[in-house]
């Protein structure tokens, strides 16, 4: 099973488009080392963020690949002057989650929802989601769902693609009529956050 590193960079206002362009130009040499799973910028939620997601076999593979990537000409991309903050997190996909990336365009926008739970709740959350997700997926596909492993802990992420915001609203209204949705784990999140994301033209999910 793969792991995913989500790297979230908050940029200076007005620099997202140029940073994305520079990233895309440097990317072809970098993906020869390990694959990019997704690249987005935020549209709703925390603004001026880019999120790039890298797939690795395990933490050792990440370590080795990043060391090799440091030797790639033109990498990292020339975006350092734009960056205000950087955050890196490792996520473990659920056994029932589809793989991120792979050249599959699922939507024009993606909603990333992250729920934080009390310690010890995640096994129940996983069990409930595995039971409920097939019914919810009849309305629209899920791009991926995973739990945090390094970074903020006790968190559950689910990423949903939509054609547009109107489709999101319609599908979410329909989901409220499903018998098994939302998943009933007996655990309530202590916090929730959501971001609406636009894929870059070079993203494997664009």
In the chain, what are the domains?
A: 3-199 (3.30.70.100)
pLDDT score at 101 = 81
Max alpha carbon distance in the chain (Å)?
A: 54
pTM of the predicted model over 0.85 = yes
Mean pLDDT split into 10-residue runs, the chain, 206 residues = 96 98 98 97 98 98 98 97 98 96 87 98 98 97 97 97 98 96 97 98 93
DSSP 80: G
Do 34 and 65 touch, CB atoms closer than 8 A?
A: yes
Q: How far is CA 191 from CA 95, 129, 149, 195, in A?
A: 24, 18, 18, 14
pLDDT score at 1 = 79
Query: Strand 83-93 and strand 144-150: pairing?
Result: antiparallel
Query: What does the pLDDT look like over 41-73, one tens digit per residue?
Result: 999 999 999 999 999 999 999 999 999 999 999
The conformational region for residue 88 under phi > 0 = left, psi -120 to 50 = alpha, else beta, is beta
Q: How far is CA 118 from CA 13, 56, 115, 124, 188, in A?
A: 35, 28, 10, 11, 8
Do 126 and 75 touch, CB atoms closer than 8 A?
A: no
Q: CA-CA distance, 52 to 171, in Å (whole number)?
A: 27
């Amino acid at each position: 099973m793969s792991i995913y590193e989500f790297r979230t960079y908050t940029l200076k206002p007005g620099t997202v488009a140029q940073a994305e362009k520079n990233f895309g130009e440097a990317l072809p040499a970098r993906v020869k080392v390990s694959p990019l799973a997704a690249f987005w910028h935020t549209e709703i939620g925390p603004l001026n963020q880019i999120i790039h997601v890298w797939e690795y076999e395990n933490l050792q593979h990440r370590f080795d690949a990043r060391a090799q990537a440091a030797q790639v000409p033109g990498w990292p991309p020339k975006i350092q002057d734009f960056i205000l903050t950087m955050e890196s997190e490792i996520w473990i996909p659920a056994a029932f989650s589809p793989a991120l990336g792979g050249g599959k365009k699922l939507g024009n926008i993606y909603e990333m929802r992250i729920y934080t739970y009390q310690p010890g709740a995640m096994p129940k959350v996983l069990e409930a989601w595995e039971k409920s997700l097939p019914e919810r997926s009849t309305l629209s596909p899920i791009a991926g769902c995973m739990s945090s492993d390094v970074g903020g802990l006790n968190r559950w992420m689910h990423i949903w693609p939509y054609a547009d915001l109107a489709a999101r609203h319609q599908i979410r209204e329909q989901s409220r009529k499903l018998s098994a949705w939302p998943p009933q784990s007996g655990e309530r999140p202590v916090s929730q956050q959501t971001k609406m994301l636009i894929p870059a033209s070079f993203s494997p999910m664009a």
